[in-house]
Amino acid sequence: MRPHGPGQVKELAGKVALVTGGAVRVGLEIARALADAGADVAVGYRRSAAEARGAVRELEARGVRAAALRADVARPREARALVAGAVRRLGRLDILVNNAALFVRTPVLTTTPAQFDRLLAVNLRAPFFVSQAAARAMGRRGGRIINIADVGAVRAWAGYVPYGISKAGVVMLTRGLAVALAPRIQVNAVAPGVVLLPEGFPRQSGRRLAARIPMGRHGRPADVAEAVRFFATCSDYITGQVLFVDGGMSAL
């Protein structure tokens, strides 16, 4: 990630970002990247209260303002309250990163309606309603919405069909919002490949998985965060795009 030392320009100084699921894992790395670019950051979380408080302390130590806001973004009322809370605590909203998601194995023959509905609610419905609230909050000033999709949007995984459906939906959500919210709001997506393996994932299986990636390694949270930072700072003529950060998996 590009460091910012004394005297260097911070592209996002004076801006406010909201990162859903920003307290842990990739979401926290995204929050760090935006803070390093000068943005004040609201960290959305559902269950990771202690981690969110720690994230706020870390971000404030980087010289920006930060706030931790709890919400179940799968509930439209809480999604709206999350955006309102970010504006109330930090004064405005310029950048939304829809990062919160569920990744759950759901074999086709045993997936329940409740499992299917929860995956779609968190991974697809939530980004829509958080984006709706964010677009209203951004107003005439405009802003940026960055969705976190997944290589699973274009590569089918037998044990994760509902998840793949949800992330394919995020890709179309990105394109639809880009058209609907133009020209004042730019909407793009980052689609990671294998970045962080689940806890307890067999080491040997992880090595086999890495061997199938053209770049020969798993991704790092910083790889995703750098792509998010690009969309947060790039030309406003870039919208409706999906950037795969997958080591070449989507090209196979």
Give the pLDDT confidence score for residue 4 in this predicted structure.
47
Percent of the chain with pLDDT strictly greater than 90: 90
Burial class (CB in 10 A: 0-12, 13-18, 19+), 109: exposed
pLDDT digits (tens, 9 = 90+) for 206-248: 888 899 999 999 999 999 999 999 999 999 999 999 999 999 9
The structure's pTM equals 0.94
Q: For residue 1, is pLDDT > 60? A: no
Q: Are 197 and 218 in contact (CB under 8 A)?
A: yes
Closest by Cα among 75, 114, 90 to 19 = 90
H or E stretch covering 75: none
Known catalytic residues are: 163
Query: What is the distance between the alpha carbons of residues 189 and 239, in angstroms, rounded to a whole number?
Result: 9
- What's the pLDDT at 8? 65
pLDDT confidence bin for 5, thresholds 50/70/90: very low
The structural domains of the chain, ordered by start, are 16-251 (3.40.50.720)
Whole-number average pLDDT of the chain? 95
**pLDDT for residue 99 is more than 90:** yes
Under 8 Å CB-to-CB from 6, ≥6 apart: which residues?
A: none
d(CA 190, CA 230): 10
pLDDT for 184 beyond 90 = yes
Q: For the chain, what percent of residues have pLDDT higher than 70?
A: 97
Q: Is 57 exposed, middle or buried (0-12, 13-18, 19+ CB in 10 A)?
A: exposed
163-178: pLDDT as tens digits: 999 999 999 999 999 9
* pLDDT for residue 159 is more than 60: yes
For residue 10, pLDDT beyond 60: yes
Reported as a single tens digit per residue, the pLDDT across 65-98 is 999 999 999 999 999 999 999 999 999 999 999 9
